Structure 1
Amino acid sequence: MNIVILTGAGVSAESGLGTFREKDGLWTKYDLNEVATPQGFARNPALVHDFYNARRANCRGAAPNAAHHALARLQAGYTKGSVSLITQNVDDLHERGGATGVIHMHGELSRALCAACGHRWDAPQAMAPEDPCPACGAQATRPDIVWFGEFPYHMERIETLLAACDLFVSIGTSGNVYPAAGFAEEARIAGARTLELNLEPSEGMIPFDEARYGPATRIVPDWVEELLAGQA
């Protein structure tokens, strides 16, 4: 059985990384149009860098939780097929929790991108508008993050995985941001079963075949242990 797992902000929330809707969280202190769009970056790159420097510091101080570790155990211990992990998150908690080959469809806080030449490299902890690109020297460096209005990364690979999966699992995502919100239906059309693991029902219009609700640190490890035990 080939398993494709999509994770969203809810899987990292218990590690202290807030979701978009969290009251008094980092996101509530900024206008998303100013810090998470190409237009906002063009208007005020210093503000955008300040925002992502704060997010990078917040991420650095967080630790992977039981849900991250459980998904890594699933990858390592599942023997009846493949386990592919796609995340909407830009943190590195899946990797620090032991997961491998994570597909970051919205980019990564730990990476930098040159808007002039497209070169990518490991981001320093703090970035600034005057930072030169190490490849071309242009002062056009930005976080390697997919902003609103930009096309997500790795979509061809994701479409291939969805077409071939037997079980699609959505964990901790709101279900209202496309294209990720359409992944469950794509997998269903391809013949896969669908499962939602979330704090509460997502806002997606298509119901899942099965759903479990509660904190990610409880329901994800429980599901993983059931799946691994079922291999015996």
Structure 2
Amino acid sequence: MVEIAPSILNANLLQLGEEVAKIRSADWVHFDVMDGHFVPNLTFGPMFVEALRQVTAVPIESHLMVENTAAFIPLYAQAGSKRIIIHAETGNHLHRLVQNIKELGCEAGVSLNPATPLSCLEYLLPDLDLVLLMTVNPGFGGQRLIPAMYEKIKQLRAIISERRLSCKIEVDGGVNLENAPRLVAAGVDVLVAGTLIYRDPDPAAALKRLRDGVQ
């Protein structure tokens, strides 16, 4: 079954508890962490995760778009993240960082920007719970999906299947009702959707439409 992870980057942050309650049927809450350096935007600290953990039973995945990844991992694990996703582009010690995430009791994911090749992850795939493929350039919501990413998804799915791994594929960026079925057909397991859900007057209904469209 395809999983849906609404991104709260597009939610009304002044009513975050109410906004998360609207997507209680989601599989994950996608929490974008941006430090203003790795990407130009600046978002949430770990206290937001801790606060959300008190008001929702939906598991939280924290997507760390930051430069000093090693310092951020324990903060977001201790705050209540169930899954922590780090970027391959932030350093040369991915294996160690993935092990750190797992030692803290979280699922481990690695994200690739659109221009980053899959080859940088092949040695690490057996250790990963998830690969997040960015289908837009990270930093801001509301962008259009880059068409070349469909082939990248297919290539990653072929590698995972050939090696009989359990690693899931997640995509983030430009997901809508029109392209979601094509993304799933290419091999995606988890869809991150922000604008599609939270720019709708009824986020719960938007979430249901997305789920119905890919099941």
Structure with greater Cα Rg: 1
In the superposition, the TM-score normalised over structure 1's length comes to 0.31
In the superposition, the TM-score normalised over structure 2's length comes to 0.33
